[in-house]
Structure formats: C-alpha cells, structure tokens
Structure 1
Amino acid sequence: MRRTKRSAVWSHFTLVNDNRAASRLVQHFNHSSLANIALKAKQQQMQLPSHKLIQSCKTRWNSVSEMFNRLTEQRWAVSAVLSDRTVTKLSDARTLELRDEYWQLMEDVAPVLETLKCATTVMSAETEVSVSDTYPITFSLINVHLKTDEEDTSKVGEFKSRVCTSLSERVKIASDDLMSTPPMIATMLDPRHKHLGFLTPPRRVTAHAKLLEVLAETEAEAECKSSTSADAIGGQQELVGGRAVPVQAGGLQRRSAYALLMGENYTTRSTDDVEKEVDSFLKDPPPLLDSSPTT
C-alpha cells in the first residue's frame, strides 16, 4: 500500500512539484529558529493549534499525507511569517512561498491521502493484523474510495486513477488465479469477509467453489496421513522370547475396538459433509468488522 501511494505521487507531475515545494518550506521552518519562533507567535495570534510542521520522508509511511494536512492547517500562519520582512528575506520568501494551485491541490487531495493512510494503518497494525484483510480493503479502495466523481478536479481524478492502476497491478485483481491465492482463501475463511461482497457474483461463485476444493483436498490429505500413521504403529514389532511379536499400543487397541464396534467408515466424512459445513458457515451472520477473525 505504501509503495502504491508513493508511486502514484511520484508519477503525478504536479504532486511531485507540490511535494518538493512543501518539503522545502517545512525544512526552512525546521532549520530556522527565528522562523519557528515567529510561527508560534502567529499561531497564538490567529488562535491556531500550536502544532509543529511535519516533514515528509520516503521511508516513513503516510508522511506526505501528514505534511500536507499540517501545512493546510497552518497555511495562514506560515504565509504571515513569510510575509514578515523582519523574519524572512524577500528572496527567501519568493523561493519558499507556495503557489495558490499547490495549496489548493494539497487541500483537494487530502481526503484521498487520508483514506490511503487509514488503509496502511490497518494493514500494518502490530496486533490482530490479518492477511484476510488484503483483498476486502483493496477492492473497497478501488470500487468506492478511489472512484472519480463530478466534484473531483482533473488533478485529483488523475491521482485516483493512478492509485487504482497501481493497486490493481500490484495485487493482480484481474488474474485468473486470484481465487487460488492464500490471501483470498484466508478471506473466505474469515467470518467478517466470508460473504465476499466486494466481488462480482460470478467471481464469488468461483471463489466458493475453490474453497470447497481446497478444503476437500486438505481433508483427504489429513485422512491419508492418519491412515499411514496407524499402519506404521500397527507394523511395529518387538522381540519376545526370541521371536517378533506385533506391538499392541494401548491407543491402537482402543481405536481398533471402536472400529470393530462402530465400523471402519464411522468417522469418514464425504464431500457432502464438507459442503454442508461450508454452507452452514456461509449462512451464519458475520461478526462485527472490528472483531478479531480468530475469536
């Protein structure tokens, strides 16, 4: 997600220039104690929050969004300091002052960046993070939050389009193998996302069919391993009185007794059983989104 946002920002010419100009402006205030003191005075005078400006950093997630938001919040205090010739030289002010279109772009693109910030925060959480969130969040961004509308400016619409393209390419949402990927299987097993509301009906059917296939294969592998293990135990021998005698472990005797009484196929599950379990799982109402998928 971080790479997607960064690549979209750096592929948008106007945003690149805006980001560089904003970074240069913030750097000036961070390096000039006089400008910083003057900014605090203007904040008090204009009754603005006493917040420091934030510098963007390529290695720090969401820093571009935070820098834009903070500059927008402190715009008039910053402009007042740059206009004060006792604090800022005219030559410096001409270099540092942002053009009106840059201020407007920072304000317009803020909701988009804030949404991407929210997504990266959720997907990079230190606790209760789950790979099952990958596709629901990605599809929600593409289908809802990044859809262009009539109120978007051309530059914001272009930025949204670039982010969508980058996201689609990175997670390969158009791939025929999408339903077989571990994140998608995990999503189908997550009670919060099992309905797959973010997929089209045909892809939803394909996904659920793939889930049944995977579960059936897992069930068959488990039964095969169990049978192999039982055969290995049953084939063990020990020397008693100079001759080999089969080992009769207590657990094996108990299983053999149950098998004799109940029949060998008593616990064998058919494919229909797996389908019924999945059907029952899908019919149960999903839990709240804020709940943990493991509880």
Structure 2
Amino acid sequence: MASASSGNVSKEKRQQSEQSNVRQTTIGEFSKRPITDHRKRKITGLLVNFIVKDIRPLATVSGDGFRDIIHFFKPGYVIPSHTTLWNTITHQYDELRAQLASDMKDQSVSLTTDLWTSPTMEPYITVTAHYLSATWEMKAKFLHTCLMPERHTAANIAQRLTDTIREWGVVFCVIHDNASSMNLAMTLCEDFSHDLGCTGHTLQLAIKAGLDLPEVAKAIDAARRVVSHFRHSAVATCALKKRQAQLNVKENRLQTDCPTRWNSTFTMLERLHEQHIPVQAVLEDETVTKSTKRKALSLRASQWELIQQLLPVLRPLAKATTIMCGEMHVGLSFIYPVILNMAEDGVLRVEESDVVAARNFKNAVRKQLKTRFKLDTEDDLAGSVPIMACILDPRFKDLHFLPEKTRVEVKSHLIQLLQDGEADQPAATGGAYDDAPTDINVDNNNGEEPGKKKTRLESDYEELFGPHYASKIVCQHLPRGGTRISPDDPHPHDEQPSGWWARNEKQFPRLAKLAKSYLAVRATSTPSERVFSLAGNTITRQRSSLHPAHVDALIFLNANQERRTRIINEEDFGESE
C-alpha cells in the first residue's frame, strides 16, 4: 500500500510540473516579442485615437512618464514624432471633412453659430450644421472651430460666415445669438435664405426681465444666501441631512444657480422649496446656527410665498426651453404655439390669488415675450421661418393659435412657395396645388376612454400648448380633380414630425421638400454653444500650447466621433498577435 501511495504522489508531481510548463505567457514575456510593422501602425493609431478622444496636445505623448509606460508594454515601439502624429490626424480630418461634405450634398442645411472666448482669452467662432437625412433622421455635425483674433465687427463676422458657407455649400438658414453685431452681420451676408435669432437667448432676456424686478430679485438673493450657507458649512450640511432623515424628506442637496442661466435659478428655488421645512429647522436650531447668522439668512414669509407662486410659472418655461433647445429633435415649430399659449391663456395669466410681486413678474415676462416675438404687431409673421415650420409640422398644422387673418396669410405663403418651387419639380405628377393643405381636422378627444389617466408627456404637452395642441392629425388635401382625400394618420404625442413625414413623403412630395428645409432649422444656437464645455476642456491653461489649427481639427474629429469611427475601422491597423 505504501508503494502504491508513493507512486501516486510521484505521478501528481509530474502532472503539476507539466502543467507549470504550459502556464500563461506573462506581460513581460509578451512585451519582449519582436514588434511587427502592422503592430506599430496599430499602436500609432491608438495613440492618435487617445489624442483625439481625450483632446490632448501632441506634447502629451512626449512626456517621460508616458514614454516609460509605452516602453514597459512594448520596448521595441518608438513613439512617432509630432509631425508624423499630426499628419495622421490631418489625414483623418481631411477624410472626415470630405465624407461630411458628401453627406450634406443636396441636403437643405442650416447652421448654428456663436462667438466665444477660451480660458486663455483667445476668441473663437464655432459653426455647426443641421439637416434631415434622406431617411428623415436629424443630423448635427460640427464644421469648424476657428480662431478669430480680429475685432468682432459685423463685417468681420459676415466675412467669416461667408467663407464657411462657400466652403461647405448652400445654406438655408443661420441661427445666431442676439448680439447687435451678429444681427447686423446677417444683413451683410447674401449666401443663405434666412436667419433666426437664438430663441434660448430671447427667452433668457424675457424671463430675466421678470427675475430682475426688485421684490423678485430680493427673494432670489435671499434664497441664494441660504443655499450658499449650506454649501459652504459642513456643520449645517450635516445637520440638514439629519433633519431630512427625521422629517422623511428626500436627502437632496441644495443647488446653486448661475445668474446668466435663468433655468438654474429655477432649479435652485425648486430644490430650496422642496427642502423648506428641514432648512428652516436647521436655521432655527441654536446649536447649529448662531442667532446673528440666522437673522441674516432667514427668508420672510412673504418671500417663501412668492417663491411658491413663481415655481408653477417657471416650471413650464423651463420645460419649454429644454424642448426648444433639443439638438436631435424638431424644436422650431414649438416656439409660437408655446409662447402664445403661455402669454395669453397659460401660466402667465394673472390670477386673483397672485401676490403683487408674482403679478408683476407675470406681466413683465408677458410684455417681453410679446415684444421680442412680435406677437402684437404680426409684422411678417406669416412668412417667418418658425411659423412655416408650424404649418409643416403635423402637430401644429391647424395654426389655431394664430388669428384667422394670419392663418390665411400663412397658407397663402405656403402655396406661393410651392408654386415658386414647381419649376424644379418633375412635370408629370399633377398640378401645383396637389400638395397644398386646405384644412385640418382636430380630434380633441384623442380617442381616449373617459377617465383614462394621461401620461406625463401628454400632461407636459397640454401644459405647454394648451387647447391648441392636437394629438391626432387628419391631413386633408384637394387635388386638381376636386376629389377630397383625407388620409387618417394619427400623430402620437411622442413621435417626431420627421417620423410622420417619413411615412407620408411620397404622398406629399413638394411639401416634404419644404418640410426638410424648415423642420431642420434649430430653435437655438445651443448646439454651437455646446462646444463651450468641450473647447473649455481643450483650451485650458495647461493646454494653452495647442495651435488654433489643432483646436479646430481635434474638436472636429472628437465632436463627429461616430462618423470618424468608420474611417478608423476602414484603415488597416494590422493583425492581432
């Protein structure tokens, strides 16, 4: 038995020895393998990808620490020179530009543009293109971010914009901020059909007029002091958490605001109102808050009441701003249905229960909206880009938010556009008015069962659009033969008009062509402004050595990452090892 046992032990040792000989290759051994040309190209491609995706200056890969890491993993790999890396980036940049130019060819393109200054005080101009593809998908592509050291006069801005348009092709509309120099620059450009001031900026100015009223501003300043106290005091913050738990209130932190972004002020007030009771409890606790501090921080009862009355007004305004600023959905057609409903029948209507400061706020904002959006004058409203987007959006095609006289003018303008474009259309498909809508039936019952609970989205839309909004659209159309055709195609709340047009393009080809132009126009210049966070990350003081040409290329490749990935995948970076 002992001999058999010894034999088994010896056998196990041999098996263990054999298994140890087929162990996994270590990183050190793997790194010592000879590096192939294919592998070198792949590593170089990954380095370029690192620079582009993380937006790093080329000098990053020249640092001793970075070189040590590369040498550890691949001792035989030599990091290329800055010239080689930049040539690779430039190659991708040129290829992607060519592909985007091809994608946008024969499309109705609109631009958003804005001027901004980097943390290193270098002025830039950013331009973004927007269009609806052949399959009615909303596309947004960054075109360039260019240094603009010259004075930002209207003439210089116009020249920069003209250069961009002539480089990329015909542009339907340009969306810009409301600065006087930018407005004047638009009148000096002749390479686009329309221009539109940023709705986000316009709303900001209108709402700020109400927030700047003395009594409202005092309440906001008082709220800001309370929030600042809790944000800077660890003792107060800890006490607030305990009170939240005791009172069974959500343990949310108070939010600070940015004075240049009114919706952040709304967020601050909303959160403070939510935490009203635990906040007051902490401020009144003498073991946490000194009496002198408490007196300086306490809001008066009238100020709490004012905040409570402002929130139901600010909330839909914030929702409207969010919808209009959406980059990948149609927002332009929302402007007049939303603004008119709010100004006339919605949240800005004065109620008997309103305190004086709340009433003054509503009146001030309503007056600003009517002035800035020309609701009282109706001058050139019929042919404006937002109104034309409305009649081409099946959700608002009835135009019931407009006076009858204006509705007639809008439809006449649409028919004129169809006639003007008829020369470019094939001649074998009927008369000039085949596509012209003559009526809209609105089913306000929406086919709902009595008592059926509305979705949150439906409630939000009804709050924003009021009785003018219809969730079921019936398009009617009068061909030359006089036969009435009524395709009954419901348009649900959560469907974009581009989805409706994708299904009905063949039935209304001329209208579809116009819809692609008008519905692709952004309501705000936010898409260009979105580059602020990206560019701010790019042009920090630590990265101030970046050449302006590098800034343009890196942001262009990074922002159009999805399209760039196709280029990378098509390149041969080599075989696996």
TM-score, scaled to structure 2: 0.41
Letter in 1 for 2:207: K
Partner residue of 1:259?
none
2:479 paired with 1:278: no
Could you list the per-position Cα deviations for residues 123-151 of structure 1 after superposition, in whole angstroms to 9, with x for gaps in the alignment?
11232133122111111211221222333
Partner residue of 1:258?
none
Partner residue of 2:370?
168
2:362 paired with 1:157: no
2:386 paired with 1:187: no
Question: Following superposition of structure 1 onto structure 2, how do residues 82-231 of structure 1 map, counting pairs within 5 Å?
Answer: 82-145=283-346, 146-173=348-375, 174-220=377-423, 222=424
Q: 1:196 to 1:92 in 2, by over 3 A?
A: same
CA contact (8 A) 1:132 1:183 kept: yes
The Cα of 1:202 is off from its aligned counterpart by 2.0
The Cα of 1:178 is off from its aligned counterpart by 0.7
Q: How far apart, CA to CA, are the structure 1 residues paired with 2:345 and 2:439?
A: 30
The Cα of 1:280 is off from its aligned counterpart by 7.2
Partner residue of 2:461?
none
The Cα of 1:196 is off from its aligned counterpart by 0.5
Could you list the per-position Cα deviations for residues 27-72 of structure 1 after superposition, in whole angstroms to 9, with x for gaps in the alignment?
0100000010011111111111111111121244511211111111
Q: Give 2:428's match in structure 1, choosing from 248, 252, 267.
A: 267
CA contact (8 A) 1:29 1:36 kept: yes
Partner residue of 1:236?
none
Q: How far apart, CA to CA, are the structure 2 residues paired with 1:209 and 1:197?
A: 16
The Cα of 1:279 is off from its aligned counterpart by 2.7
Q: How far apart, CA to CA, are the structure 1 residues paired with 2:422 and 2:337?
A: 27
Q: How far apart, CA to CA, are the structure 2 residues paired with 1:268 and 1:50?
A: 64
2:214 paired with 1:55: no
The Cα of 1:197 is off from its aligned counterpart by 1.4
**Highest RCO, 1 vs 2 (Cα 8 Å, sep ≥ 6):** 2
The Cα of 1:103 is off from its aligned counterpart by 0.5
Identify unmatched segments of 5+ residues in structure 1.
227-265
Q: How far apart, CA to CA, are the structure 1 residues paired with 2:330 and 2:410?
A: 22
Letter in 2 for 1:168: K
TM-score, scaled to structure 1: 0.78
CA contact (8 A) 2:207 2:262 kept: no
CA contact (8 A) 2:382 2:409 kept: yes
Letter in 1 for 2:438: D
The Cα of 1:212 is off from its aligned counterpart by 1.1
Could you list the per-position Cα deviations for residues 141-185 of structure 1 after superposition, in whole angstroms to 9, with x for gaps in the alignment?
112212223333332222111111111122212232011111111
Q: Give 1:293's match in structure 2, choosing from 497, 507, 511.
A: 497
CA contact (8 A) 1:56 1:63 kept: yes
CA contact (8 A) 2:210 2:216 kept: no
Letter in 1 for 2:352: E
Identity of aligned residues (%): 34
Could you list the per-position Cα deviations for residues 206-226 of structure 1 after superposition, in whole angstroms to 9, with x for gaps in the alignment?
211121112211224x25xx8
Letter in 1 for 2:388: I
Q: How far apart, CA to CA, are the structure 1 residues paired with 2:374 and 2:493?
A: 25
Q: How far apart, CA to CA, are the structure 1 residues paired with 2:496 and 2:437?
A: 20
What number of residue pairs does the alignment pair up? 250
2:272 paired with 1:64: no
Q: 1:289 to 1:201 in 2, by over 3 A?
A: farther
Cα-Cα RMSD: 2.1
The Cα of 1:193 is off from its aligned counterpart by 0.8
Letter in 1 for 2:226: L
Q: How far apart, CA to CA, are the structure 2 residues paired with 1:46 and 1:186?
A: 50
Q: 1:188 to 1:144 in 2, by over 3 A?
A: same
Letter in 1 for 2:317: L
Identify the structure with the greater strand proportion.
Answer: 2
The Cα of 1:18 is off from its aligned counterpart by 0.6
CA contact (8 A) 2:273 2:308 kept: yes
Q: How far apart, CA to CA, are the structure 2 residues paired with 1:149 and 1:103?
A: 18
CA contact (8 A) 1:54 1:66 kept: yes
DSSP-derived class of the 1:279 partner? strand
Q: How far apart, CA to CA, are the structure 2 residues paired with 1:92 and 1:215?
A: 68
Letter in 1 for 2:371: E
Identify the structure with the greater helix proportion.
Answer: 1
Letter in 2 for 1:289: H
2:229 paired with 1:28: yes
2:216 paired with 1:5: no
Q: How far apart, CA to CA, are the structure 1 residues paired with 2:330 and 2:209?
A: 24
2:282 paired with 1:81: yes
Identify unmatched segments of 5+ residues in structure 2.
1-202, 441-474, 477-485, 500-577
The Cα of 1:98 is off from its aligned counterpart by 0.7
Q: How far apart, CA to CA, are the structure 1 residues paired with 2:491 and 2:250?
A: 39
CA contact (8 A) 2:398 2:439 kept: no
CA contact (8 A) 1:131 1:186 kept: yes
Q: How far apart, CA to CA, are the structure 2 residues paired with 1:49 and 1:20?
A: 24
The Cα of 1:107 is off from its aligned counterpart by 0.6
CA contact (8 A) 1:9 1:16 kept: yes
* More displaced 10-residue stretch of structure 1: 202-211 or 52-61: 52-61
Partner residue of 1:260?
none
DSSP-derived class of the 1:159 partner? helix
DSSP-derived class of the 1:180 partner? coil
CA contact (8 A) 1:68 1:110 kept: yes
Q: How far apart, CA to CA, are the structure 2 residues paired with 1:214 and 1:147?
A: 37
The Cα of 1:268 is off from its aligned counterpart by 7.5
